[in-house]
Amino acid sequence: MTCDRLVCANCAAPVSEGRCPVCRASRARLQQEGGLAGLFAGLSPAALVALLLILLIAVAVLAHQAA
């Protein structure tokens, strides 16, 4: 999840702007989580499906060459 569209319940401003301590803490926590989920968080569902199809095709090609 990214903080681009989140609105702070404390100050009603976008969390990405970090106007209050609550915003800044939330933004820092989201940036620390990152990881693999953070890597794919910005991708559209269509892009994720395309990546999955490419992965499946690559596995099928490797399996066919091994046989």
Mind listing the pLDDT tens digit for each residue in 14-57? 888 888 998 888 888 877 776 556 666 677 889 889 999 999 99
Residue 44, φ and ψ in degrees, nearest 5: -75, 160
Q: Is-above-0.85 flag for pTM?
A: no
Give pLDDT, residue 53. Answer: 97
Which phi and psi angles does 7 have, rounded to 5°?
Answer: -115, 135
The half-sphere exposure of 43 on its side-chain side, counting CA atoms within 13 A, is 13
**Terminus-to-terminus CA distance in the chain, angstroms?**
41
